[in-house]
Amino acid sequence: MKMLKTRKTDRRGFSMIEVLVASTILTVIVMMLGMLFQSTGLAWRTGVQRADTFMQVRGFFGAIQRDLSAAIDARDLPPALTGGRSQQFSSSTLKFFTLSGKGFDDSGNPYRALTYITYDLSGNRTEERLKAAGGWETVTYNVKTSADRQLNPNRPTATIEPFAPVYATGASSPDLPLYVNIRARVDSSGYTLEIGAASAGPDMTWDTKDDITTWMQRK
C-alpha cells in the first residue's frame, strides 16, 4: 500500500508591520495626490480670473471704440441742443457727443439720436440721450466690471491708464482729436508650490520613528 504524501502549505499572512508600512505608503500617495489636485484647482481658478480680467479690458475698449467712431465735433452743434454741455478730452476724462441711429421716418428722413458720452479711468460710462420731446435721459454703468467674479481676493486687476488724445497741428482740447490712445494694464500675482515626500522607514534611519514625511512648500 502506498502512502499519499501531502505538502505543507505556508499559511502565514502579512505581519502587522508590513500592513502598517503599506498603509503609510498609501496615505503618503493619497496626500500627495490631494495636494496636487489642490494646486491644480488653484491654477484653474487663477486662469479663470485672469481671463475675466482681460474680458473687462476688451469690454471697455470695445465700448469706447464704438462710441468714439460715432463722435461729432460739438462746435458744429447749435448751443440750444447741447444744453450747456461741452466736449472735453483730458487724461482722466473723455466727454463728447455722438450722432447715431438707424431707420427712416415716413418722409424718408433718417432717424438720428444726439447723445452725450462721458468716460473715466474707472471704466464708468455715462450716456445722456436727448429725447425727442426735450430733456435728457441719463444712464450710467461700468463697462469694465461685467465679467468680475469674486473667486479670490488676490485676483488679477485691470487698470485703465490715462487717456492720450492726439490732435491735429494747432488744435487742442476741447477740439475734437484725430484719435485717442488708450492703454490698460492687467496686474496678477501667483506663486509656485513644491510638493514632495520622503521615506527612510523601516528603518533605514534618518531621524527615525519611522520617518515617511510629506511637504508642500511655497516658493
Q: How many CA atoms lie within 13 A of 212 on its CB side?
A: 17
Over residues 28-37, the mean pLDDT reads 76
Q: Is the pTM of this model over 0.75?
A: no
**Is 209 within the bounds of a domain?**
no
What dihedral angle (degrees, nearest 10) is formed by the CA atoms of 18, 19, 20, 23?
120
Residue-wise pLDDT for 78-91, tens only, equals 888 888 898 999 99
pLDDT average, residue stretch 139-145: 82
CB 47 within 8 A of CB 149: no
Average of per-residue pLDDT across 81-102 = 87
Q: What is the rounded CA–CA span in Å between residue 33 and residue 25?
A: 12
pLDDT the model gives residue 206:
66
114 within domain boundaries = yes
Which has more pLDDT, 147 or 136? 136
In a domain, residue 192? The reply is no
Q: Is residue 97 part of a domain?
A: yes
pLDDT tens, residue by residue, 149-165: 444 456 677 788 899 99
CB 99 within 8 A of CB 113: yes
Q: How does the average pLDDT of the chain come out, rounded?
A: 77
State how many domains the chain has: 1
The residue whose grid cell reads 500592513 is 19
The per-residue pLDDT for range 40-54, each reduced to its tens digit, is: 777 777 777 777 788
On whether the CB atoms of residues 154 and 189 are closer than 8 A, the answer is yes
Question: Do the domain assignments include residue 46?
Answer: yes
Structural domain including 178 reads 42-187
Residue 11, domain member (yes or no): no
Domain-located, residue 25 = no
Q: Residue 114's CB: how many other CB atoms inside 10 A? A: 19
Determine which helix (DSSP H) or strand (DSSP E) holds 125, and give its type and residue range. strand 124-130
Structure confidence at residue 36 (pLDDT): 74
Q: Would the pLDDT of 1 be above 60?
A: no
Residue 207 belongs to some domain of the structure: no
